[in-house]
Structure formats: structure tokens, C-alpha cells
Amino acid sequence: MNFIEDLIQLIKEKKSVVCMGLDPRLDNKGEIPQFLIEELEEPNKIILEFNKILIENAKDLIPVIKPQIAFYEKYDALDALKETIKFAHKNDLLVILDAKRNDIGSTSEAYAYSMFKNLNADACTINAYLGFDGVKPFLEYNEKGVFILVKTSNPSSAEFQDLFSIRLEEIPNNVIEYKVEGKILKRNYIQLSELIYDWSNKLEKFSNFTNLGVVVGATYPQELRKVREIVKSSFILIPGYGAQGAQAKDIKNGFYENGLGGIVNSSRGIIYAYHQNEKFSQENFGKASRDKIIKMNKKINKEIMN
Amino acid sequence: MNFIEDLIQLIKEKKSVVCMGLDPRLDNKGEIPQFLIEELEEPNKIILEFNKILIENAKDLIPVIKPQIAFYEKYDALDALKETIKFAHKNDLLVILDAKRNDIGSTSEAYAYSMFKNLNADACTINAYLGFDGVKPFLEYNEKGVFILVKTSNPSSAEFQDLFSIRLEEIPNNVIEYKVEGKILKRNYIQLSELIYDWSNKLEKFSNFTNLGVVVGATYPQELRKVREIVKSSFILIPGYGAQGAQAKDIKNGFYENGLGGIVNSSRGIIYAYHQNEKFSQENFGKASRDKIIKMNKKINKEIMN
């Protein structure tokens, strides 16, 4: 396999750039249906059954799923995660594991091993605050995909990511404040995008894309357009569609004219769709998610194919 | 319990600011002793036994340990991690779980639950690239400690953390480049330190410190001094001592004159000490680590008490 090649092929086959986020939540009403919780009792069983039904209802409609590992860790359900990934692969779906791991090089190696060998994910998300040392061990799995957080979908993402910054190589380390005159500054997430562009340029391309992607929230459409211009050979994973408030027109900026270049994730909006639509009982949560994906595909394809 | 109160008390009782990093590595010679691997075979058993012997040899000498979760994930050894944390607590040691987790708010909640409820860590490390949204769920566990990555110990940490930046609130989102005249810029890790100082100021203080700490690598002593001046009420977790090349004089800048304000982590330097010292056979790896800690305490106390 090669993540980006396979992704592009599946996008074309299924005519979809939608990614289904598998974020199992067991705590509140409107999350995993009560009948599954009562019937199966144990979190690993509940979550796996929930995911399998979602996958069966989505497999012909989408190229990829994105489990959020935080929830599997919370419920001690890493077995369900492993089985979900296996089941997704059997059903012609790729898996991006959302883990946002980051550490120094020798530790990042261990994380990369967990993501790609133990869990057999096809791609994962990482955080590059530590610079290239911590990114490299993930890229060494040539055939796997890596998505670096650039501009996140949450309200406080501006706090640090939107600072205006500049690289001033000539200043000694011990100088921490510096007065600049007439210099062009760029926001931090733009600086990081430029670093990623450089890293990506050293990697092999498949249909103009490398296996190094980025994450930009659908909740920031203007920022998405700017990042699209910089990371020319990267796919953009675009979360925040649906429950976080972004709509189809907001994600258009992440795509090239040929409809490639992005994938749009929705988690709660798809998997708990039964709760937002009276037409579906909790027993029909799978059909509700299928119905939601069909509508999402239609809306998004209309935007990105124009 | 209250993490920072307990930490300060243990530092005073044991006259030590050393943190033992428990990073089990099974792959190469000079890591976990071969006799344990052969005798116990299963990673969970090998790692737990290795950690128990290290803890027994260190318990009267240090206040805190820091397991790096990446390695427990790599070897599918989360049971060994849980048991190690229990054993550390029984032996009068606090536990900082090095996990560098980060996500949007609703997902950070799940991570905080894993760290503090499932695994029962007393503190954990996190990455604040996403801003306060992702930090808050960890701080909601009032009695637990949180250490935010500020300036990491690895060679490429400058790549992003050392950019010079400025907060320009008045500029609209869609402006990504901006020419500045006569403005004072500060390095990114300094900007983040200032944010953390603001967040910390809203928390309760115990002996002048809050439960919100930072991470600054011992490999960057000048940067450590600057961060110490900013995050006045935060403890600094200082990794990179030993195997990564930093020495006792390098960490002095992280401490106040009363010897408080920092803890110094060494992982490989302590736990694989038997491999660097011919005096000790592999069977005596625990004694070798004890010997190493005694020397570290002496060297570090000499620096920070002057």
C-alpha cells in the first residue's frame, strides 16, 4: 500500500472526500445509542459493534475513517480500536489515526511504531512544535501518511498559531527580545506551513502529492485558502465540519480545481446523526449516518467540483 | 493529595530535585538487562519487574518518577504502566506521566480522564499549540499537576520555538503577512511562557507555586534562565540531563535561591547506568541506578544550593 496513492484512488472511485470520524462517547444521551450500551455492557464490545455498523453503512460512500484515539484510551478500548482498523481495511477504507503525538526523536520513533505497526493505521496526525526531529521518525515509514497540525479548528487556536513571526537566524540564542524595522512577519501557522512545504519537497510524489499532509480546521476558511497556496504537494485534512459549525462552502478553499487536495472530516455530525433527525430511531443509527454522508457528499462535491 | 504541595514536601524531605525517567527499551543491548528479558519473556512482566527494582533502589532518594508513555504503548505494556504507577505511589513517589497530549477541548477532556483517572498519574505533560481550550480540561483536575512544553531539549527545537513573534490583535484574520516597524518581538517559547504565566495566575498557589508547570530542556540553559524569570509561579520540569548532554551547572538557572522551582529528569542516564559503569553487572542494574542518583543529587544540590 501507499497511503496517498490509495487515498486518491478511493476518492475517485467513491466520488467522495468525506472522512468519518469515529469518536465513541459513552457518557451522555445522544451519543452511542442506549440499546447498544445495555445489550453489550463492556466498552470494547459496545464501541466495536457501534463502529462496525457505521463502517458497513459508509463503506461504499467514503474513502477513509478517522478514529480519535483519546476516546479509545478513555474507555480502555484499544482492543476495539485495533479491531475497528482491521474491519475498516476489510471494507475498503483507509484509516487515519488521530493521535497528535509529538516528542523528541528517539521517543517519536516509539510513537510511530505504535501508530503504524501495533495499530496498523495507514496515516496519523502529529504535532510539530518540536521541529523536524520529532517528525522524521513518522516519515521514515515511507508508505504511511502523516498529517501535521497547522491551524486547528478550536476557538483558541489563534492564541499561539496566529502570532506574527519571523525567522532571524543571525540573532544569538540568548537574545529573546528583538526590535525589528521594516521586516515582513508571517503568522505562526504560515511559518509552520512553509517548513512543511520544505520537508514535503524532499519526499516522493504520487499524482503530485506526497505522504506528508497538514490539518487545517474548516472553521477557518480564509486560513485554509492561504495554507492551500503554500503546501502545494500536501493533502489537507479538514476537521470541524458539522458539529463544530463549518459548512460546505467553507471547505472549498482546501481543494484544487480537479477536486483533489483535501478530505473533510465530520465526527459527531455523522455518527450521532440519528439524534438530530426524528426520521431515525436509535436502532437505525447506521442508516441515519448513511443518510447524512450521502447529503454531505452531495453538498461538498457540488462546492469543490465547481 | 495536591501535586505541587506534595512535590515540595518530598523535595524537602528527600533533599532531592531529581526525577527518574522510566523509559523502558527492549530492543538494543545496554537497555533493559538481558537476564530479565530471558527470564520473564512477556514485555509487561519484564518492564514491571525492571521498574520495580529501579523504584525500590530510588524511593528514599528522589521525590518523583516520569514514565514516558510512548514506550509502554510501543510494547503494548499499559498494564505494566498502571502497575508501575501503583507501586510508585506505595513507595512514596509522585508520578508525572510524560504524554505530551493535545487536542481541541472536548477531546482533551478524554485525554485528561485517561491520564488522571484511568492511569492515576499525579501530573502529566501536555503540548499547548492549540491554545487554552486544550489546556483547560487538564487544569480542571485542580489537585493534579500539568507541565506545558515550552522549550524542548531536542536539536531541532529552535526550528519553530525560537521564531521571533508578536501578538497583533488589531490585524484581521485574513492578513497573514504584515510589515512591522519598530516593534519588539519575542521568541515563540517566550510568548508561550507569557501565556502560561497568565493562565497560572488564575490558579491557587501553594508555597508560591501553582499546579501549572512548564518543560524546558536542560540542553538550553540560557533559555531556561529567561523562562524562569517569566513563569514565576510555575515549577520547571527540566529533561535532557545526562544522555542528552546537559550537566549540573546547566540546570541551575531553573531554580530559585531556596533550591525550589525545578525538577531535573534523567532517564537513560539513570536506568541504564549499569551499562556505563563496569563496577556493576547487569544483575546489579538497580544498584547502579542508585549509585548514579546519589551522585546526581550531590552534584545538583551543590549547584542549586549556592
Per-residue pLDDT of A98-125, as tens digits, reads: 999 999 999 999 999 999 999 999 999 9
Q: Count structural domains, chain A.
A: 1
For residue B48, what is the enclosing H or E element?
helix B43-58
Q: What angle do CA B233, B239, B245 make, to 5 degrees?
A: 135
CB atoms within 10 A of CB A27: 11
Q: To the nearest whole angstrom, how far is the Cα of B215 from the nearest Cα of chain A?
A: 12
C-alpha span between B301 and B299 (Å, rounded): 6
Q: Once rounded to an integer, what is the mean pLDDT over residues A291-305?
A: 96
Question: Does residue A178 have a pLDDT over 90?
Answer: yes
Least confident of A168-177, B15-24, B183-192, B216-225: A168-177
Record: contact B100-A105, CB cut-off 8 A: no
Q: Average pLDDT for residues A259-287, to the nearest whole number?
A: 95
Q: Would an 8 Å CB–CB cutoff place A185 in contact with chain B? A: yes
pLDDT bucket at B54, cuts 50 / 70 / 90? very high
Residue range A255-283: mean pLDDT, rounded: 94
Q: Is residue A288 part of a domain?
A: yes
**Per-residue model confidence (pLDDT) at position A115:** 98
Contact B152 A104 (CB under 8 A): yes
Whether residue B178 is predicted with pLDDT greater than 80 in this model: the reply is yes
pLDDT at position A306 is 65
Q: How much of chain A exceeds pLDDT 70, in percent?
A: 100
| A306 part of a folded domain | no
Mutate to test the interface with A, among B44, B76, B98, B106 (most CBs of A within 10 A): B106
CB contacts, 8 Å: A141 with chain B: none
In a domain, A221, yes or no: yes
| Alpha carbon of B184: minimum distance to chain A alpha carbons (Å) | 4
Asked if A54 has any chain B CB less than 8 Å from its own CB, the reply is: no
| Mean pLDDT rounded to a whole number for chain A | 96
Q: How far is it, in rounded angstroms, from Cα A22 to Cα A24?
A: 6
pLDDT(A76) > 80: yes
A145-149, B74-78, B172-176: segment of lowest average pLDDT: B172-176
User: Per-residue pLDDT for A185 more than 90?
Assistant: yes
| A128-150 mean pLDDT | 98
User: What is the pLDDT averaged over residues B209-222?
Assistant: 96
Contact A102 B160 (CB under 8 A): no
Q: Average the pLDDT over A238-267 and give the result.
A: 92
B176 and A223: CB-CB below 8 Å? yes
Task: Spell out a b/e string for A221-237, using b for 16 or more CB atoms within 10 Å of the CB, else e.
Answer: bebbebbbebbebbbbb
Summarised one tens digit per residue, pLDDT across range B99-152 is 999 999 999 999 999 999 999 999 999 999 999 999 999 999 999 999 999 999
The set of residues, in sequence order, having a beta carbon less than 8 Å from that of B253 and lying 6+ positions away, is B221, B222, B224, B225, B228
Range of the domain at A79: 3-301
pLDDT of res. A124: 98
With 90 as the cut, is the pLDDT of residue B19 above it? yes
Q: For residue A278, what pLDDT is reported?
A: 87
Q: What would the mean pLDDT of B66-93 be, rounded to a whole number?
A: 98
Residue A224 lies in a domain: yes
Averaged confidence pLDDT in chain B = 96
Q: In chain B, which residue's Cα lies nearest the Cα of A113?
A: B74
Distance separating alpha carbons of residues B190 and B223, to the nearest angstrom: 9
- pLDDT for B306 beyond 70: no
Q: Which residues of B touch A192 (CB under 8 A)?
A: 160
Which run of H or E residues covers position B196?
helix B188-201
Q: How close B276 comes to chain A (CA, Å)?
A: 19
Residue A32 lies in a domain: yes
Which CATH number characterizes residue A60's domain? 3.20.20.70
Average pLDDT rounded to a whole number, residues B166-182 = 92
pLDDT of A8 > 80? The answer is: yes
